[in-house]
Amino acid sequence: MSSEVQASQRTHPAPRDLDWRVRIAGLGRYLPRRRVTSAEVESMAGLPQGWALEHSGVAFRHWADDEERASWMGAHAARDACQRAGIEPRELDLIVNASGSVERSIPDGGPMLQRELGLGASGIPSLSVHATCLSFIAALELAGERIHHGRIDRALLASSEIASVGLDFDSPEICSLFGDGAAAAVLERTPEGEASAIHRVAWLTMGDDVELTTLRGGGSWRPPLGASTTAADARFSMQGPKVLRNAMRLVPQALRRIGLDDAGARREVRWIAAHQASRAGLDYVRRLGFDKARFVSTLENTGNCIAASIPLTIEHGVREGQIRRGEPGLLLGTGAGLSAAALLMTY
């Protein structure tokens, strides 16, 4: 087989059916008490009136106070999800903290979430999946496969993000876009007679783009007390136009890998919960052939909440009746790195 054919097959593999018999049994959310208007952000950043909403698409976002720690917010969302699923947290077999921001470098956020749920002596396996904005999709794939194959019966996924502590108010596109929040989902095996399932998953990463979206400080490269560490290393930075341009190349590949490479296939998707990256990013996804009526959107009222954006959007869609049991839908997004992911499922 020629190297050109092999390369083509690596780039465009045939869609692989998983059909994992897994469903989201309950969803929950927590939004911080402080609700921040775009006018407030404009005042902080010295921006003209109306600039933030026009450029970011965000009218409101929530910012956490000192008491609203990430694990605390995640536990609030998790209790809500468990209640809606009709279970007690102690009935969980796995707890996954699926977040892009961390409360502490050590320990892992999974045990911290477990402790906040009052399960600190339970022994329930608790861990983190950190894939920035795509952490929830990564956790859904990890836990979904375990449930489908009978390793566990029930899992909690919680994405809790506090972006406000790392905002650069000298960068208008950053400070006007991001919000804080948490969302959680309980996964379980699909009951007989229901159609809920995870059908296909695709994930692509282009590591050459790691510098486009980054927070350099806090790790071993730029430690807090390092001689070369600067104040700027504690601030999130993003080259928005380049990220969008490169994402526009990756997202169609992800859709192709799950079999949504033509208009006919895309019409079968009844709802889309995309990462609320930005107004420009959402507009691009709509131009791929998904009409606006099928889009569930939370960007205007919560901003970009990193990994919590997708589960917050699913929770909103279910609560508002845009996502209904038994209907096929799509989770879609990009994350720092640069990665793109697509997950085709029936709710």
Residue 175 bears catalytic tag:
no
CA distance 239 to 252: 21
Catalytic residue among 246, 275, 305, 316: 275
Q: Which of 182, 190, 208 has the alpha carbon at shortest distance from 337? A: 208
Catalytic residue flag (residue 275): yes
HSE, CB side, 13 Å, CA atoms: give it for residue 286.
14
147 Cα distance to chain centroid: 21
Beta strand 94-98 with 328-335: parallel, antiparallel or unpaired?
unpaired
Please check whether residue 128 is in contact with residue 97, taking contact to mean a CB–CB distance below 8 angstroms: yes
Laid out side by side, the sheet with 181-189 consists of: 22-30, 181-189, 154-161, 94-98, 126-129
Interacting residues of 38 by C-beta distance below 8 A, sequence separation 6+:
50, 52, 53, 56, 58, 59, 60, 176
Widest pairwise Cα distance in the chain: 62
Beta strand segments in 44-170, E:
60-63, 94-98, 126-129, 154-161
Residue with tokens 């920035």: 132
Annotated active-site residue in 133, 175, 246, 316? 133
Q: Which two tokens stand for residue 140?
A: 């859904």
Task: Using alpha carbons, select from 282, 253, 259 the residue that is nearest to residue 328.
Answer: 259
**Catalytic residue numbers, as ranges:** 133, 275, 304
